[in-house]
Amino acid sequence: MTLPRQAPSQFAPPSRQRRYTSPSSPTFYLTIFLFFLILTLITPTPTNAQLPMSRRRAAFTQYNNQFFIQGGIPATAGGTGDLSALILNSSWPTASPAWTTLASGNWVWHHAMVSVRPEHSAGLGSTSTKGFLLTVGGYPPPLNAFFSVYNLQTGTWANLTTMSPYTGLEGHTAVADPATGLVYIMGGYYNLNPPNPSVGNLLTVFDPKTGTVVSRVEATNANNMTGASALWSSRRKTVLLFEGSRAVATGDVNAIEITAVREYDTTAGLWKTFVSCRCFAFV
């Protein structure tokens, strides 16, 4: 039997063993200390840009070098309609991030938000040279306000008269195709009181150019989802979907194991499986 040459082993001759630093030696602790010291020195200090109000289940989007966040459940419970914007393309002191508080929208959470460019906004009820923020659904079900818009030029909100595609929908994600403006609303659920069935959305497409829902496909038990994340791949011209959990009753979430990123080809109207290589540099 031959032992591997380099493996430290109890059979190694004493002269070889002395080369290893014993875990209890001062040199060992000094090395560990220096390692963490260097790590601390080279790691950038995280930027502290806390929101004007802490909250969860808010909707957010990024548009024209600004980050927008609206609605949600504040730490103190209840709900909020607050809309805040953070400038991303100029520097600000970390102690006072450049948040701006804008006009409040609907009191809603677990909804989704996308931006709409001026050239795609003809169906949104007013004109805006700066475009719009569009919020979709959420909880409590925003009756007669399933689609709501914030006009970035006038700084005012309006509810669209577009019929709601569902009684209620929460936990969905939304993404817009930058070329067509079409908004792809994926996933989401609404648990009606028993014995009524719950509602699950797979894909609803909204056109801001006409202010209409152009298509809707309900989810099944096999493909319903809540808390997924969708993003537009400008290189592949498709929607990449990173799933969250099955849409079951709150408190009983059932996480979906991500073995592959799902992809929706908006041109062909097809769902595909995007093989995961654990290296998402193509996005």
Q: Interface residues with ligand NAG (CB under 6 A)?
A: 64-65, 89-90, 106, 142-145, 157-159, 189, 198-200, 219, 221, 224, 246-248
The minimum distance between CB 203 and ligand NAG, in angstroms, equals 14
Q: Which is nearer to ligand NAG, 51 or 98 (CB)?
A: 98
Q: Quote the least distance from Cβ 140 to ligand NAG, whole Å.
A: 9
Residue number, 63 or 238, with CB nearest to ligand NAG: 63
- Contact assessment for residue 133 and residue 150, using Cβ atoms and an 8 Å cutoff: yes
Comparison of 198 and 266: residue with beta carbon closer to ligand NAG: 198
Instruction: Indicate the residue among 12 and 158 with the shorter CB distance to ligand NAG.
Output: 158
63 contacts: CB under 8 Å, gap ≥ 6 = 115, 131, 133, 152
**106 vs 115 by CB, closer to ligand NAG:** 106
Give the H or E element holding residue 236. Answer: none
CB of 194 to ligand NAG, least distance (A): 11
Contact of 86 with 66, CB cutoff 8 Å: yes
Give long-range contacts, CB 8 A cutoff, 24+ apart: 55-61.
55/80, 55/82, 55/109, 56/109, 57/109, 57/110, 58/109, 59/111, 59/112, 59/113, 59/135, 59/138, 60/113, 61/113, 61/114, 61/115, 61/133
Q: Compare residues 144 and 267 and give the one whose CB is closer to ligand NAG.
A: 144
Least gap, CB of 254 to ligand NAG (angstroms): 7
Between 53 and 158, name the residue whose CB sits nearer to ligand NAG: 158
Residue closest to ligand NAG when measured from CB atoms:
200
Nearest to 121 by CA among 61, 206, 184, 181: 181
- Tell me the closest approach of the beta carbon of residue 170 to ligand NAG, in angstroms: 11
- In the complex, what is the shortest distance from the CB of residue 45 to ligand NAG, in angstroms, rounded to a whole number? 23
* DSSP secondary structure letters along 152-187: TTTTEEEE--PPPSSS-BBS-EEEE-TTT--EEEE-
CB-based burial label for 274 (10 Å; 0-12, 13-18, 19+)? middle
Pick 106 or 173: Cβ nearer ligand NAG: 106
Enumerate residues 6+ apart whose C-beta is below 8 A from 80: 53, 55, 71, 72, 73, 74, 104, 107
The number of angstroms, rounded, from the C-alpha of 108 to the middle of its chain's C-alpha atoms is 17
Min dist CB 201 to ligand NAG, Å, is 9
CB of 102 to ligand NAG, least distance (A): 13
